A = this chain, B = another copy of it.
Amino acid sequence: MDALDVDDLVAGVLAGNRRAVARAISLVEDGRTELEDLSAGIYARTGRAATVGLTGAPGVGKSTLAAGLVTKARSAGIRVAVLAVDPTSPYTGGALLGDRVRMQEHATDPDVFIRSMATRGHLGGMALAAPEAVRILDAAGYQLVMVETVGVGQAEVEVAAATDTAVVVMAPGLGDAVQMAKAGILEVADVFVVNKHDREGAGELVRELRQMLHLGAARPWDPPIAQTVATTREGVDALWDAIQAHGTWAVETGARDAKRRARLLAEVESLAAERFREAATAVLERDPHLAGEVADRRTDPYRAAAELVRRSRADR
């Protein structure tokens, strides 16, 4: 399978072949044009997996919690995939070695798939790459797909918000609830976890978080706060139950389908905007005059953008 045959790749993904799945996710990482045919080939077979996002500051214990949740899923007979989305760096090459070590207990289980994904080549970054990779794992028959993000910022929060159940992980001493609120993370959380619950300041963090949550308007789902010590697996059962409870609620009320539909439309809009951005880049490259006008401050960016829209629309 060295020359890329997309039909073979689609067949491999749909059959749950691990090498095909890995190869397909590499296509997403690199932003290859074959993605469109791959997407067309698998799309009808997606929408079956439950998706869970795990987000939180570095060092809160997301990967250890993910390993615990994988164990719970496997004991329930559920095939599970973990996707660690990593806006990668040449210094690490996208290999989250520490995370892989923490996942080692699952390394030989054929029904567990673990993958770090960099998004260097993908236009639109991880916000567009992650949903496509999730669909590949979904189409390959993983019933639960967990998406772990590295970093806590606007883009990472969006990736977590694009899953069925967004889990926000905190730990005492690593940024307080107010800091999390600043990152816009409270609104998207369906389940909170205060990990390292045996450490000083954990009780205070839980109280602070409860207060913040009650400041906002009442929401149809009141996010529970699970308290865990991921390294000893304490509280992981309760966290699993909280995730399941949110999933059941979301399916029964129709909230899940409404959220999925809204995020699919947003994705289509973003993909269209990215295609258009490529067209705009091509126009600018062919005609450096407009670029010079902006650089020399004869035209401001908004007026230049309007002109670029006009020219790119005409450019077919």
Contacts and interface: CB of A to CB of B under 8 A. Distances in A.
Contacts of A303: 36, 39-40
Interface stretch (A13-21, A68-76, A103-111, A260-268): A260-268
Instruction: Name the residue in A178, A184, A185, A299 with the highest tally of chain B Cβ atoms < 10 Å from its Cβ.
Output: A184
A289 interface: no
Interface in A284-314: 284, 290-291, 294-295, 297, 299-306, 308-309, 312-313
What is the interface residue range for chain A against chain B? 35 or more
Interface in A25-84: 35-36, 39-40, 43-44, 46-47, 57-59
Contact of A312 (B149, B217, B272, B301): B272
Contacts of A89: 181-187
A17 to B, nearest CB: 21
Interface stretch (A225-233, A234-242, A275-283): A275-283
B272 A280 contact: yes
A254 interface: no
Contact of A309 (B132, B150, B264, B276): B276
Contact of A150 (B87, B183, B186): B183
A313 B273 CA distance: 11
A58 B59 CA distance: 13
A90 B267 contact: no
A316 B313 CA distance: 9
A154 interface: yes
Contacts of A154: 87, 125-126, 151, 153-156
Contacts of A88: 182, 184
A116 to B, nearest CB: 9
Contacts of A151: 151-154, 156, 182-183
B215 A91 contact: yes
Given A91-B181, A154-B125, A184-B89, A43 B301 contact: yes
Given A276-B276, A309-B272, A309-B276, A92 B157 contact: no
A96 to B, nearest CB: 7
Given A87-B153, A264-B294, A269-B305, 19 more contacts: A35-B302, A39-B303, A57-B175, A59-B176, A91-B186, A132-B301, A151-B153, A151-B154, A151-B183, A152-B152, A153-B154, A154-B156, A264-B295, A264-B301, A265-B291, A265-B295, A268-B284, A272-B312, A275-B306
Interface of A: 35-36, 39-40, 43-44, 46-47, 57-59, 86-92, 96, 98, 125-126, 131-132, 149-157, 173-176, 178-187, 212, 215-217, 260-261, 264-265, 267-277, 280-281, 284, 290-291, 294-295, 297, 299-306, 308-309, 312-313, 316
24 contacts: A39-B302, A46-B297, A58-B180, A86-B182, A87-B183, A89-B184, A89-B187, A98-B178, A152-B153, A153-B156, A261-B291, A264-B301, A268-B290, A268-B305, A271-B301, A271-B305, A272-B306, A272-B308, A272-B309, A273-B277, A273-B280, A275-B305, A275-B306, A313-B316
